[in-house]
Structure 1
Amino acid sequence: METNWNTTAELNTFITLTADRIVAEGTQRDRRTLEMMASAVQQFAPGAAAALNDWDGSEVARLRAFGIVHGVLVRELVAPAQAELLAQLNPAPALVLAA
Structure 2
Amino acid sequence: MRNTTAAAKDVKNYRTVDCYLANNDHGTASIYANSVSCNASNGRRIAFTDLSGDALRQETNCSQIWAVAKSDGDYDGTSLSYDHDNVMGINWSRTVPASGVITLRSRFQSD
TM-score (norm 1): 0.31
Relative to total residues, which structure has the larger strand share, 1 or 2?
A: 2
TM-score (norm 2): 0.29
Relative to total residues, which structure has the larger helix share, 1 or 2?
A: 1
- Compare relative contact order (CA 8 Å, sep 6+) and give the higher one, 1 or 2: 2
Whichever of the two has the greater Rg, that structure is 2
